[in-house]
Amino acid sequence: MNLPGLTVHEAARLLRKRQISSVELTRAVLERIESLEPHVKAYVTVTPELALQQAQAADQALAAGGDLPDLLGIPVALKDVLATEGVRTTCSSRILENYVPVYDGTAVSRLRSQGAVFLGKTNCDEFAMGSSTENSGFFATHNPWNLDTVPGGSSGGSSAAVAADECLYALGTDTGGSIRQPAALCGVTGLKPTYGRVSRYGLVAFASSLDQIGPFTKDAEDCAIVLNAIAGHDACDSTSVNRAVPDFRAALRDDVKGLRIGLPREYFAAGVAAGVEQRVREAVGVLEGLGAQVGECSLPSTDYALDTYYIIAPAEASANLARYDGIRYGLSEQAPDIWSQYNATREAGFGPEVKRRIMLGTYVLSAGYYDAYYLKAQKVRTLIKQEFDRAFESFDVLLAPTSPSTAFKIGEKVDDPLAMYLNDVLTIPVNMAGLPGLSIPCGLSDGLPVGLQIIGKAFDEETILRVAYCYQQHTDFHKQKPRLG
């Protein structure tokens, strides 16, 4: 039996029947990590001792029986921006290279309370700033489908780990597409929940009004299971919404008859590769053949979303990253005075993309430019949200490509920041509006995965998961695997 290739729900069933043990499952995944990591480089830190301890505890709980959590004994990878007690949490940055948190973030603690098995921390773009995982302060992660290409970003380590079966599921974060875009490029399922659905407590902040934690999984059913575990109000997070959490798994059904699907014409404009558009339209055809009603809509402010994002997100980043000063924690470069120490620490600790965004954010917040740039960007953000609201008066979900292209070569865009930023052009509007978005595999173009993006109304993850689940009952793209050892 190929244990690392199991889905979460398959593994949970086998564990409960005592046909496999958590220790057996965990060892199989750790062996696969050891075999593939020299090539994929998905992990910054692997924690085999912790994983096996947790697996042994899970097996004891399974033997005792009773009401068992869905994720008990199942191995997970955590993006290295999530605080994990006693485990190095670096944000893939030299400035936090040796930082070990003394507490768990809420999403991590909720997995721990379920008896999840922590395999380690996955690589990402430094402080989640990037679209290819080439901006990591340590090394680039490789796409398991073609090791010469990027896995997407910023959560590229998490997406690559799931695609390569180096974990059964993973957590990532999405600020402008950093779950959905790498999910698309690596051919896995990735969900960005509604802003406020999952607590951000313990997530090292990039842009606080945009960041959201979500799962990478092998199919929509697993996505619903993980979301059930991590969603819910948290008093430690003032942006966490105090709203009842439905049973997302119970909402899954093989039925989209009568569902109204909108296709935003701006998402199929110039810049989307022909092969990507073809696969997405074929996926729309599958759902239409299953009884969904399909029509066009327009989101005209989409053209301004990228510009708006690269004002608001760097502005928030410049404030959030001010805490890394060489005094309180993290890297500390010695210098003759405090200002020199600040400068020396940040010069040595931050990579070029982080520095670029801090400078841009500081500029747009400075006197004389705040009204011209930041305030105007916030007004456009409101327009983007209003246009989505109008579209959802006529449609239940919106479908679009997740990324305008398939995975590109490592190094191809690293020296052209503007070209790199365009990778998130189709995902950013969802973050600006605070909506849920899901990417699922819908085929291959030139041998590389293409992602179908399903966008829903605020706090309506049930519908987008239902659409994804129904689609996956009638296709097998989510079961296709890269050819690795």
Q: Rounded to whole angstroms, how far apart are CA atoms 241 and 151?
A: 32
pLDDT tens-digit series, residues 270-288 = 789 999 999 999 999 999 9
- For the question of residue 394 being annotated catalytic, the response is no
Q: Rounded to whole angstroms, how far apart are CA atoms 343 and 351?
A: 13
Residue 227: C-alpha distances to residues 8, 70, 189, 475 (Å): 12, 11, 13, 23
CATH number of the structural domain 3-255: 3.90.1300.10
**Whether residue 328 has pLDDT greater than 90:** no
**Whether residue 332 has pLDDT greater than 90:** no
Q: Which two tokens stand for residue 477?
A: 């793209």
Span 7-27, mean pLDDT?
A: 98
The catalytic position among 22, 41, 79, 413 is 79
The catalytic position among 132, 154, 301, 403 is 154
How does 7-31 read in b/e, with b if 16+ C-beta sit within 10 Å?
bbbbbbebbeeeebbbbbbbbbbbe
Reported pTM: 0.97
pLDDT score, position 96: 96
Q: Rounded to whole angstroms, how far apart are CA atoms 163 and 185?
A: 10
Is the Cβ–Cβ distance between 259 and 454 less than 8 Å?
Answer: no
Q: Rounded to whole angstroms, how far apart are CA atoms 158 and 121?
A: 9
pLDDT tens-digit series, residues 231-258 = 999 999 999 999 999 999 999 999 999 9
pLDDT score, position 351: 95
At which residue do the structure tokens 């090394």 appear?
Answer: 139
Domain boundaries along the sequence of the chain: 3-255
DSSP string, 431-452: HHHT--EEEEEEEEETTEEEEE
Is the Cβ–Cβ distance between 446 and 274 less than 8 Å?
Answer: no
DSSP string, 189-246: EEEEPPTTTB--TTBPPSSTTT--EEEEESSHHHHHHHHHHHBS--TT-TTS---PPP
Span 15-42, mean pLDDT?
A: 98
pLDDT tens-digit series, residues 163-199 = 999 999 999 999 999 999 999 999 999 999 999 999 9
What is the CB neighbour count within 10 angstroms for residue 367? 6
- For the question of residue 298 being annotated catalytic, the response is no
The catalytic position among 155, 178, 301, 318 is 178
- For the question of residue 178 being annotated catalytic, the response is yes
pLDDT score, position 72: 98
pLDDT score, position 342: 87
pLDDT tens-digit series, residues 359-416 = 999 999 998 889 899 999 999 999 999 999 999 999 999 999 999 999 999 999 988 8
Give CA angle at 54 (50, 58), nearest 5°.
170
pLDDT band, residue 485 (cuts 50/70/90): low
